Amino acid sequence: MKPSSPAMAGEPSANYNFAFLDEQTKRMIRRGLLKAVAIPGHQIPFGSREMPLPYGWGTGGIQITASIVGPDDVLKVIDQGADDTTNAINIRRFFARTAGIATTERTDRASIVQTRHRVPEKPLRAGQILVFQVPTPEPLRWLERREAETRKMHALAEYGAMHVNLYEDIARFGRIAKSYDYPVLVNGRYIMSPSPIPKFDNPKLHMSPALQLYGAGREKRLYAVPPYTEVKSLDFEDHPFRIERWTEACALCGAGDSFLDEVVMDDAGGRMLVCSDSEYCAERRAAGHRGKAAP
């Protein structure tokens, strides 16, 4: 985190502060983040602001990024793993416009990666910050709709209901049927929503060298996973956590270890599977890897 200065290089709008938010708000958010880092996985309420992008578009992540970004930072924004999805482009443009900072599509060049629904395939390194956009910060919300109750459940580490919920899946389907937003236990204490990333990405959260910051703008909550923290996907001894696997490799780059998106080719059942992480796929193709549909 570098201090941000109101006076900035580049050509951000003269009518707004560096990275849009005023400095008092950024300090408030940074204080919240410090608390979040100190209590891994614990949700910290914060005075979320109305942003010029709609709730649900990533206002929590945007507020975090705006609060920690400095003039020398390099920002990467992905949505569904890709840099070229409309929402990712839009958020990247927002920061280019309001902060005049450098942006990149390369994970290894970014100091901050803001993401919605994915963790980059390429491992992150120490010193990088991964900012998650979170719609529903409360992992217990589907079991208990009242906030006053879920706060109490967290305080008492009363997590039996969650295990029962997962067990019900096993009783009905023979397996845990949750495919995304799969709950994790952080540092052996708090159950946390990893935001709706596919469970495929859950193992990447465990002992990550990068700092993970989570922001929920509409629900007004911050939480964090500090570097090298234990993040365990909930499971049972006889039903260990498993990630999804595909029978095919990426049709463009041939990767067999990445999360694949299904693209509908025609209305006669034609499908193609391609890497959801557009950078990972492009880099592999540049290195000469070829999938079965590659030109």
136 or 187: whose CB is closer to another protein? 136
Stretch 52-81 residues interacting with another protein (CB under 8 A): 52-54, 80
Q: How far apart are CA 102 and CA 73, in angstroms?
A: 7
23 or 261: whose CB is closer to another protein? 261
Instruction: Find the part of the chain contacting another protein (CB under 8 A) among 35-43, 66-74, 84-92, 197-205.
Output: 84-92
Q: How far apart are CA 108 and CA 137, in angstroms?
A: 28
Q: Is residue 9 at the binding interface for another protein, with CB under 8 A as the rule?
A: no
80 or 104: whose CB is closer to another protein? 80
Q: How far is the CB of 12 from another protein (least distance, A)?
A: 12
Paired residues of 2 in beta bridges? none
* Most distant pair of Cα atoms in the chain: their distance: 60
Residue in 1, 16, 230, 282 binding another protein, rule: CB under 8 A = 16
The catalytically annotated residue of 61, 253, 254, 291 is 253
Contact 37, 223 (CB under 8 A): no
Count of residues interacting with another protein (CB under 8 A): 34
* Residue 250 annotated among the catalytic residues of the structure: yes
Q: How far is CA 164 from CA 120, 148, 178, in A?
A: 32, 21, 13
Stretch 205-244 residues interacting with another protein (CB under 8 A): none
Which residues contact residue 224 at a Cβ distance below 8 angstroms, ignoring those fewer than 6 apart? Answer: 33, 36, 37, 40, 41, 211, 212, 213, 214
Q: How far is CA 124 from CA 28, 120, 205, in A?
A: 27, 8, 10
Q: How far is the CB of 263 from another protein (least distance, A)?
A: 5
Beta carbons within 10 angstroms of residue 155's beta carbon:
10
Stretch 248-277 residues interacting with another protein (CB under 8 A): 261-269, 276
Q: How far is the CB of 245 from another protein (least distance, A)?
A: 19
* Residue 288 annotated among the catalytic residues of the structure: no
Tokens 């499908």 sit on residue: 271
Q: How far apart are CA 61 and CA 55, in angstroms?
A: 11
The amino acid at 264: V
* Residue 188 annotated among the catalytic residues of the structure: no
C-alpha 13, offset from chain centre = 28
Stretch 148-207 residues interacting with another protein (CB under 8 A): 172-173, 177
* Residue 281 annotated among the catalytic residues of the structure: yes
Q: How far apart are CA 105 and CA 89, in angstroms?
A: 10
State both tokens at 154. 């967290």
Q: How far is the CB of 207 from another protein (least distance, A)?
A: 31
* Residue 253 annotated among the catalytic residues of the structure: yes
The catalytically annotated residue of 32, 58, 217, 281 is 281
Tokens 């900012």 sit on residue: 131
66 or 129: whose CB is closer to another protein? 66
| Residues making up the chain, counted from first to last | 295
145 or 242: whose CB is closer to another protein? 145
Which residues are tagged catalytic? 41, 250, 253, 275, 281
Give me the residues that bind another protein (CB under 8 A), please: 13, 16, 51-54, 80, 82, 85-87, 89-90, 93-94, 97, 136, 141-142, 144-145, 172-173, 177, 261-269, 276
